[in-house]
Amino acid sequence: MLILLTGCTGFVGSALGPRLIAAGHELVCVCRPDTLVKFGERIDWDGTSPIQPEKFPKTVNAVIHLAQSRSYRQFPADAREMFAVNVAMTMSLLQWAAQSQVQRFCLISSGAVYEPFALPLREDAPLAPAGFLGATKLAAEIIATPFSACFAMNTLRLFFPYGPGQRHRLIPELIRRVSNCEAVEVTDNGEGIRLTPTFIGDIVEVIIAMLASTRVGTTNVGSPEVLSVRQIALEVGRQLGIEPKFKTVDGSPADIVPSLDRLSGRFELNRFTRFEDGLRRTLFDDPGRTI
């Protein structure tokens, strides 16, 4: 299968690309001009300018759209770039895929679409994200829906990917705090938010399985193992031999725990990596991490 992959230099894309090639697929990587990719054939496109069809392959079997804005922490300063990459780029790619008679399209979305996480996190829940990141992710999902008439369309909402090489996200930040003997913030119940940390290798395997599946639609992707911030920090401390410090802050803890009923019908949940094993690989298989 010839696959067009965007976001190939990101955390998920850099793990997915080599795995796709190892599985025997041909890979064309869409990259920003200022980035370096070490696998597949390269096409330069920043996602904000019009697609130049002559630069793209004439025949593509599947698209996996992972690219998302790098700027998302400052609102409203980052709003324009988030819209340009998360929404407008998605629209351009969908239109090109339809015109090019692509057979399958996999849109990688985020659990952020469920913010403020008040209702059960089910794929059929009514959504109105409170944050702009979630709003742009949901907008991309909405504009992608009509294109299901043109090709098999799968949308995957990822929850808390982590693993070796990741930086500046929740799990790496907790590792940093415990390693530096800084206090980890928890809410009044002493536990903090409850979530489903999902090892990067499992994310990759789910994407590959969905690519091969005849089923289509929107699917939550997360580990069935639910942990609180306190439990995660304690496990980090256990593996590093450091007693974590905690600080209680005001606020009600959120449960960011997706329904996995739909995923369980498409992927065996017992295949997911236990957090203690994924954390061990994150801590000790990452040559760039100093502990």
DSSP 18-48: HHHHHTT-EEEEEE-TT----SSEEEE--SS
pLDDT digits (tens, 9 = 90+) for 151-172: 999 999 999 999 999 998 999 9
pLDDT digits (tens, 9 = 90+) for 96-120: 999 999 999 999 999 999 999 988 9
The phi-psi region of residue 127 (left if phi > 0; otherwise alpha if psi is between -120 and 50; otherwise beta) is: beta
* C-alpha 70, offset from chain centre: 13
Q: What is the DSSP letter of 70?
A: S
Comparing CA positions, the residue from 30, 27, 25, 58 lying closest to residue 45 is 30
**pLDDT exceeds cutoff 70 at 176:** yes
Query: pLDDT value at position 32?
Result: 87
State the pLDDT confidence band at 73, using cuts at 50, 70 and 90.
Answer: confident
State the pLDDT confidence band at 287, using cuts at 50, 70 and 90.
Answer: low
**pLDDT exceeds cutoff 70 at 143:** yes
- Higher pLDDT pick, 76 / 163: 163
Residue that the structure tokens 């992608």 belong to: 144
What value does the mean pLDDT take over residues 48-55?
90
**pLDDT exceeds cutoff 90 at 243:** yes
Q: What is the DSSP letter of 157?
A: E
**157 close to 220: Cβ distance less than 8 angstroms:** yes
Share of the chain above pLDDT 70, in %: 98
pTM (2 d.p.): 0.95
Q: Among 31-40, 227-236, 238-247, whose mean pLDDT is lowest?
A: 31-40
Angle formed at CA 270 by CA 27 and CA 15, multiple of 5 degrees: 25
The phi-psi region of residue 188 (left if phi > 0; otherwise alpha if psi is between -120 and 50; otherwise beta) is: alpha
**232 close to 238: Cβ distance less than 8 angstroms:** no
What is the torsional sign of CA 267, 273, 279, 282? negative
What domains sit in the chain, N to C, each tagged with a CATH number? 2-158 (3.40.50.720), 160-199+222-257+272-291 (3.90.25.10)
Query: pLDDT value at position 110?
Result: 97
Neighbouring residues of 201: CB distance < 8 A, sequence distance ≥ 6: 15, 163, 273, 278
